[in-house]
Amino acid sequence: MKRLFLPLLLLQAGIIMAQSGQPGTGTSGTVLYEQVVKLEIKLEGDAAQFADRMPKERKSQKFLYFNAESSLFENKPEEEDQTLKSESGNTVMIRMKEPNNKVFTQLSENKQTEKREFMTREFLIESQLNPSEWKLTGQQKMVLNYPCQEAVKEMKDGKVSAWFTPVIPVSAGPGNYAGLPGLVLAVNVNDGKQTITALSVDFQPLAENVLVKPDKGKKVSKEEFDKIVEEKMKEMGAQSGPGGARMVIRMHP
């Protein structure tokens, strides 16, 4: 029964697409995603009076370039630096510097190389994807008019839900959320604390110099990088944002 599952899903997807007029697909192109991260900013002492003025979330856009062999996930250029205003519209602002991070995935080998930027230093983190960590739930929904199937996995930081479409038979996805039998179009981490949703899929051919594996930076393990960040944050008394983004909080009387 399990062997029939994906071919049946593909057949259903083809029927749905034919009825909805969905444009053709391919195994090479670009996905534009919107990432939304819920912010939990803790203020102590006299600053606590400004807690209700803090912004509740941060939005940014990312690109995923992909073909049948590899993919590259990176910031949309204008999202490298962003100022967030509070929901109340007063003079409390948070300025976040988006690190120039990249995730390159060798899809055929399930290998990833992450370039992480932290405190003007660059690091390279190599890891192995494990597709068997994903479990299919049988849930389905449409994303950008593509029929998607849900897969979930447990991570150190909590639960991740990814929606992939076998209609686009590429095992790519945003960041570390890859290795499924179809392109990942939506991700939900810890019940909405972070979401990544595709805004568009473009199947125009990629330029030859787009899918380039990062090679500049100090090679470290994921554990070593996390330790470096933790120790530096403690030293500075600073607050690290999602994805290693640095936050500077300014409050004006």
Per-residue confidence of the chain (253 residues) as pLDDT tens digits? 333 344 444 444 444 444 434 545 678 999 999 999 887 766 666 666 666 767 777 889 999 999 999 999 999 876 544 455 555 555 455 556 678 899 999 998 999 999 999 888 899 999 999 999 999 999 999 999 999 999 999 987 789 999 999 999 999 999 999 999 999 999 999 999 999 999 999 999 999 899 999 999 999 988 899 898 888 878 776 544 445 544 444 433 3
Residue 14, token pair as written in the block: 């083809």
Residue 52 in contact with residue 43, Cβ under 8 Å? Answer: no
Kind and range of the H or E run holding 142: strand 135-143
Task: Concatenate the DSSP letters of all residues of 7-73 into one string.
Answer: HHHHHHHHHHHHHHTPPP--S-EEEEEEEEEE------GGGGGGGGGS-SEEEEEEEEEE-SSEEEE
Domains of the chain in start order, with CATH, are 24-250 (2.50.20)
Residue 182 in contact with residue 166, Cβ under 8 Å? Answer: yes
pLDDT at site 152: 97
Residue 98, token pair as written in the block: 């988006």
Residue 52 in contact with residue 224, Cβ under 8 Å? Answer: no
C-alpha torsion 241→238→112→31, nearest 10: 30
CA dist., res. 24 & res. 228, Å (int): 45
pLDDT at site 83: 53
Residue 36 in contact with residue 67, Cβ under 8 Å? Answer: no
pLDDT at site 93: 55
Residue 169, token pair as written in the block: 């038979």
Nearest CA to 93 among 58, 118, 63? 58
Kind and range of the H or E run holding 161: strand 158-165
- Phi and psi at residue 52, to the nearest 5°: -75, -10
CA dist., res. 214 & res. 226, Å (int): 19
CA dist., res. 41 & res. 51, Å (int): 8
pLDDT at site 48: 65
CA dist., res. 22 & res. 73, Å (int): 25
pTM listed for this prediction: 0.77
